[in-house]
Structure formats: C-alpha cells, structure tokens
Amino acid sequence: MWGEQISKECAQIAEDYKRAIESEIPSWEGDAAEAYRAKATEIAEQIQSLAAAVGVSQAVQGFGQLVATVRGITRDLIADVVGEILIAAGAALASSWFTLGGSLAAFTGWAVARGRPPRARSRARSPSSS
C-alpha cells in the first residue's frame, strides 16, 4: 500500500540521517557543531514522527471504510424492514374486504412492532419492565 511505503521510506530516511550525524561529523567541535547536532537530531526525530503520522492516516482511512460498511449494512436493514412492511400492507389490504378491515388493524399493530428497534422490542416483551 502506498501509505506503508511512505512510512517505511520516512523511517529509513530518519535512520540514515541519524547515522550520518554520528558518523560523518564526529570531528566537528565548538558551539556551532553542537548546535548543528542538536538541530539535526531534532530534524531526524521530526522525520521519524512523520512516519508515524502516515500510520495514523491509514488508521483514519480504515475507520472511514468501517463507517461506510456500517452505513451500508444499516441501509440494507432498513430496506429489508420497509420491504417486509410493504408486502404485509399489500396482503392486509387485499384481504381487508374479507376481514371487514380487521386485517388492516392487525397489520397496523404488526407494522408498529416490526418498525421498533430490536432493543425496544426486547424490553417490551420482558415481564420485569412492567
């Protein structure tokens, strides 16, 4: 994946830069040398943290995919419930002439119960909730 490659490259650049600071300028002395080493070490740490930031962006991207999946599942569940209700409404309407409207009343009760969230349905059935 592209993000992983960037993360690895940033980590490698940071390591290479730290090694270069230690191996290529050990003979430098004085205040300027110390200031350069301190700033170079800070830059290497910032590059290393950039590698970690790429990992965070991948995590955020993964969470986005998770949200899209949950959204799709929710949409499918709602579509299933609406489809069941429409089919049952058609059956209740078709039989209403024979049941003198009783099937419409039964359908209304069923549809309200079917449309409730599962947790509300389980609480309604529980005898301890009275």
- Is residue 85 scored above 50 in pLDDT? yes
The tally of domains found in the chain comes to 1
Cα–Cα dist 69/8, whole Å: 29
Question: What one-letter code names the amino acid at 66?
Answer: L
Share of the chain above pLDDT 90, in %: 25
At how many degrees (to 10) do helices 31-99 and 2-24 cross?
A: 170
Whether the pLDDT of residue 77 is over 80: the answer is yes
| Segments forming the whole domain that contains residue 95 | 2-129
pTM of the entire predicted model: 0.52
CA dist., res. 101 & res. 124, Å (int) = 26
For the cut 50, the answer to whether the pLDDT of residue 130 exceeds it is no
Between 118 and 109, the higher pLDDT residue: 109
